[in-house]
Amino acid sequence: MRYFSTRDPQKTPLSFEEALLGGLAPDGGLYLPEAIPRLSGPWRRAASLAELGVEVLKGWLQDPPLAELEPLVREALDFPAPLVRLEEGLYVLELFHGPTLSFKDFGARTMARLMQHFLRKRGERRIILVATSGDTGSAVADGFAGQENIEVVLLYPKGLVSEVQERQLIVKRPGVRTFAVEGTFDDCQRLVKSAFTDPELKHLPLSSANSINIGRLLPQALYYLWAAAQGHLEAANFCVPSGNLGNLTGGVLAALMGLRVPRFLAAHNANPYFPDFLAGRAEPFRFPPTVPTLSNAMDVGAPSNFERLYHLLGPERLREWVWGTTVSDPATLERMQRTYEQYGYLACPHTAVGLEAVHRYRMYTGDPTPIVALSTAHPAKFPDAVRKALGIEPPQEARLEALKDRPVQVEPLPPRLEALKARLL
Ligand SMILES: *Cc1c(COP(=O)(O)O)cnc(C)c1O
C-alpha cells in the first residue's frame, strides 16, 4: 500500500511509514492512498471495535506485522463506541468514551502507537509540537504520553480555553510539557509554524500531529464500520459534525472500502465554507475567516481536509454524495433542548449541530434511509452550553472529576519565538 501527495502530479509513491512520519507532504499537499483495499473477511461479526480494527487495518498496513498490529490496536482502542437508538431509523454513535471524552481519542491514540512502532524500529525520536484551542491538545497529550521515543510540547492560549479544557490540558503526563501562552490561539499557531522553519531549531526532530496526518484518518474510518456492524445496518446515511473534515474523510474512506453509505450529511456551525461549496455558492479553496461559536471544536474557516476530499472524489461526486448545512448557535441550543425533551438524550453542542442537520435533511428530502449521527464529545465537557440550553447542570463525569485530584504541570510562555526557542533548546 503506497501513498502520494495531493499536489504531486507524478504521484511519487511513499510507504505508510514515510507518510505517517512526514505528516504534511514537502510540497504542502496531503497524503492519499494509491488504492483503497476492499472490505473482506468477517468484519461484521467482530466482537469489539478493536477486533474489527485489526481485521480492517491489516488490509491497509503491511508494517506493523499482524503480531504487533494486534496488541497495538487493542491497546489504542480499548474503550467502547456504543450505538444508541433514539427512534426507528435514527441512531447516535457515541464517540466520547475515550480518556479525553472526544472522538479525537481514536485517531490520536492509534497514531501515537503507530509512530512509536516506526520510531523504535528506526532508533529515532520525535518532539510533537501542537498548538491547541481545545479537544485536539488533550487527545494528543493523552494519546502520546508515555510513548518512549516521543515527547509532546503543547501550547494553548492562557485564559482562552474553558475550565474543563484547561484541566484536561495541564494535568501532568509523562513526556508532555504544557505551556500557557500569554496570547491568542493565533499566537500559538504562529509560534508553532515559525519553530518548524527556524534554522536554529533545525537539528531538533520536531513533528506535528494534526488532523491532516494519515495516521489519524485511518482509525477514524473504523467506527463507521462498527456502527453498521452493531446496528446490523446494511446501508445507512451518516451525519458528521464537521470542522476540519477529518472525521468525514474517515467516513468516506470506509464507504470507498465498501460500506454502503448512500448519503453523508456534513453538519457545520456558522463556519459555512463546506456547505457553501456543496451548494455551489463557494469556489474551491477560497476560504473565509473563522467565526467563533458554541461548538468551538468545529470553528474552522479553512477546513484542511477539504483538499483531500476534493482530490479523492472530485467536485461533482462530492456534491452528489454529501449534503451539507450550517447551524447557528441559537438553532444549536434549541436542538439540544428538543433532543432532551423528545428522547431524554443530552447532546453536546457539536452533536446537536449534527442532530439539527438530521432534522433538516429528513424534512427536505423525505429520505427514509436509517441515519447514524456521530456524537463527537461528551456533554459534560460543555457545562456552559448545557446550562444555557436546558437550565440544568450536566451530569458529573468520573473521568473529569478524577482530574481534579491529579498533579498539574504548566509553564507560562510569552508569545515570542525567542521564548519558545529558549525552552525547546
Ligand atoms: C474536532 C471536533 C469536531 C470536528 O471534527 P473534524 O474532523 O475537524 O471535522 C467535531 N466535534 C468535536 C467535539 C471535535 O473535537
Query: Looking at residue 271, what is its pLDDT?
Result: 96
Mean pLDDT in each 10-residue stretch from start to end of the chain (425 residues)? 91 93 88 93 94 95 96 98 97 97 96 98 95 87 96 93 91 97 89 91 90 91 98 98 96 98 98 97 94 92 94 97 98 98 97 98 98 97 95 91 93 97 94
Pairing mode, strands 371-375 and 90-94: parallel
Is residue 299 in contact with ligand 1, taking CB distance under 6 Å? Answer: no
Residue 135 CA: nearest ligand 1 atom is: 15
Question: Is residue 298 within 6 Å of ligand 1 at its C-beta?
Answer: yes
What local confidence, expressed as pLDDT, does residue 395 receive? 86
What pLDDT does residue 133 have?
Answer: 75
**What pLDDT does residue 49 have?**
97
**What is the model's pTM?**
0.96
- Report residue 315 as a C-alpha cell: 467536485
Mutational test site, ligand 1, from 102, 305, 375, max ligand atoms within 8 Å of CB: 102
pLDDT at residue 210, as a whole number: 77
376 lines ligand 1 (CB under 6 A): yes
Q: Angle of helix 135-144 relative to helix 104-122, nearest 10 degrees?
A: 40
Please report the DSSP string for 232-294 in residue order. T-SB-EEEEE-SSSHHHHHHHHHHHHT-B-S-EEEEE-S--HHHHHHTT-S-TT-PPPP---S
Strands 3-5 and 150-157: unpaired
Distance CA 74, CA 47 (A): 12
> Which helix (H) or strand (E) covers residue 54, if one does?
helix 49-57
**Total Cβ atoms within 10 A of residue 365:** 12
CA of 213 to the centre of ligand 1 (A): 15
Q: Which of 92, 93, 247, 299 to mutate to test the pocket of ligand 1 (most atoms within 8 A of CB)?
A: 247
- pLDDT computed for residue 18 by the predictor: 94
Domain ranges within the chain, ordered by starting residue: 80-102+214-390
Element (H, E) at 188: helix 185-197
Q: Give me the sign of the Cα torsion angle 369, 258, 323, 271.
A: positive
The secondary element (H helix, E strand) that includes residue 206 is strand 206-207
Is the distance from the beta carbon of residue 350 to the nearest atom of ligand 1 less than 6 Å?
Answer: yes
Residue (of 98, 106, 128) closest to 116 by Cα position: 128
Which of 104, 158, 388, 421 is the catalytic position? Answer: 104
Q: What does 296-326 look like in DSSP terms, one character per residue?
A: GGG--SS-TTHHHHHHHHHHHHHHHHEEEEE
Report the alpha-carbon distance of residue 258 to residue 253 in Å, rounded: 9
* Distance between CA atoms of residues 270 and 292, nearest Å: 8
User: How distant, in Å, are the alpha carbons of 152, 243, 252 from that of 188?
Assistant: 15, 19, 31
> Residue 217, Cβ neighbours under 10 Å: how many?
24
- Pairing state of beta strands 83-87 and 90-94? antiparallel
Q: Tell me, in angstroms, the distance from the centre of ligand 1 to residue 297's CA.
A: 5
Query: Of all protein residues, whose CA lies closest to atom 11 belonging to ligand 1?
Result: 376
> With a 6 A CB cut-off, is 351 part of the ligand 1 pocket?
no
Ligand 1 geometric centre to CA of 402 (Å): 24
Q: What is the fold of 80-102+214-390?
A: Rossmann fold (3.40.50)
Note if 58 is an active site residue. no
